[in-house]
Structure 1
Amino acid sequence: MTRWTRETIIEKILEWNVRFGEPPCSADWNPSLARWRAQEWRIERYRDGIWPSTNAAKRPFDGSFDAAVRAAGLEPHRSGPRRRPAGVARPAMEQREPQAPRSVDEALLESSERIRTMERRIASLEREVAAAERRADRAEDQLGDARVRARRAGERERRARGARERVQVVEREAGEQVEMLTADANARVRAAYDQAQAAVADTHEARRAARAAEVRAADAEARARAAERLLAEASTDSAAVGAAMSAARASEERAAAAERRARELATLVCGEPRQLTRGELARLREAGPTGPAVMANALRTLHKARAAGDRRGLTDALGDVASAAVGWRDRL
């Protein structure tokens, strides 16, 4: 029953009175109080049925257990111990009869037997103590081994933590290098795009220059033909002939220069090979070392600067690579 009411408590008090021949007291329905009073038989009676606790019985009656008993029409017990008839209270132990006196020899034999028994017990206890000491030694050894293993585990954990920290540092440095390389690649892409745009503009300019050179070459040929006609017409005049020849040679030289410039522009635009003259070779030799060896050396310097993470060295190496590339292109 989850909650006791006034009526159910009165019913239980009457049921207790019918069953045990007396109304209940506070110790009957309070096992803790009965145990404190050394009245175990009250606990057995309480557990033999379904009864409310003392506090549950007092709650509907303003906290008075006697009021609950009186509400059931019974007279509560008086406080204090109750008088019992003589001979009712007896100790719960068997009464022993007096024993006859024994002789001294029997007492000595019994004492010697007890001594031997105690010696055997002492020897057994000593063996147990020795075994306990051995177990304690083994336990200490195991404890030492456990401490060593714990210390090694701590060292492994510290090494693992250090390895994780080093990995994090390497990952962070790798991320920074990747970001730097990405920025460098983006810069190179932008530079290549700008160079491509400049090359396209140079190509258009070269085409316009080639067309202008062709026009100038055609004009020079026309002037040369006119000079030849003038030479044929004025063959009698030596001074006129000399001037005409000089004009013709100058026109031929200008035409050759214009043709050479046109071939250079065509080579620049179309990529056709052209043989260098002796003067151009001499100027290239005077310009300093260039070519694949210089380019390879500059690339190795660039690789070392990137591996070392030296920004200043990387900038200088990029400048050397660009200079070697321009010199090699000019020599080609």
Structure 2
Amino acid sequence: MGSKAIESVSNLAPLLLFNRHHDNGTSPSGKANDADEATSSSLFLYSIPKGQPLTCTSAVAAVLGDAHHRYWVTPQGWLLVLNRGSRNTFLFNPLTLQMINLPRDDNGSLLHLSSTEEISSKCLLSQTPTDPACVVLLVDLTDTVFHYCYTSGTQWVEHVYRTQIQTDRSNSEVAGLMGSLTAIGGNNNRFHAYLFDDSVTLDFSPDHHHHHPTLTLAPLDIFPWPPGHGTLDHVFVELRGEWLCLSFCHPLFTQKVAKVVVHRVDVEKGAWVKVDALGDDAVIFASVARRLGLEGNRVYFVASDDKALYLHDMERGSTVMHDPAPHVEDDLVPEFLMAPI
């Protein structure tokens, strides 16, 4: 298929990661997969800047194709990996093959989250994971609980936050919206989320290192709904240290993306600030720059039910579709893999 082995990958990211066996470690027939099967067309990478597929090395296939491994792709490019047999956890950089050992999942909380085939959790890093103050945050999207550890820590900690949020909404509603949690970057160990009409700040600042983090709410203005569109899907990302909201606008009764509207969320003022252009940057659910070989002022995204890569031009207001993997089934949805921080 015209693929090439990964050699020097610094200029190949961001990537699309295709893995048929990611969620439950089994093949469509129900048999556990192995590294040999994982090196087939069911597991491969696609370089967005180069526009070409890449064959996974044996080292990458050994981690991503192991039936005992469950992994979470972070927006920062690293993967949180859980060995469901030993319950050992580690961070893995699939581009440099660097590994950072994390505490063992002694109480089985991560193992529980790994047992579902659905997208029921997400993982974020507060900063560069080689920093001992980095927080590894695993958010349950079905219940009001998250799990975290420090890269220099000795244990995973479970934190139930429902009592910190005063609302009459159900636990499942609150947990689902906490999926908007975004690491803002820098060294402040803070995350933001959009919860109904409030912004949420989750603070792991240094003075909380040996205590539970704080969670505070601040009011936000009513979201400025773009006129002329029936439904919206919101995605929150970080770009240059700012918290952005990408609104994917759909006509009624269709999931076709007619427009992408970008706002910067000003937490202190509780305001949505319209962003008309991204300059030389592009957004791929994370911050990337022109130096990575991508065209600027664009939003790159994938849908939830097909394999295509979509590019939205902010200036023209148009969206084009690319098929990065003509040889695989249309329902094999890829994940973005950024250049690790």
Which structure shows the higher strand fraction?
2
Which structure shows the higher helix fraction?
1
TM-score, reference length from structure 2: 0.16
Bigger radius of gyration? 1
TM-score, reference length from structure 1: 0.16
Q: Higher relative CO (CA 8 A, sep ≥ 6), structure 1 or 2? A: 2
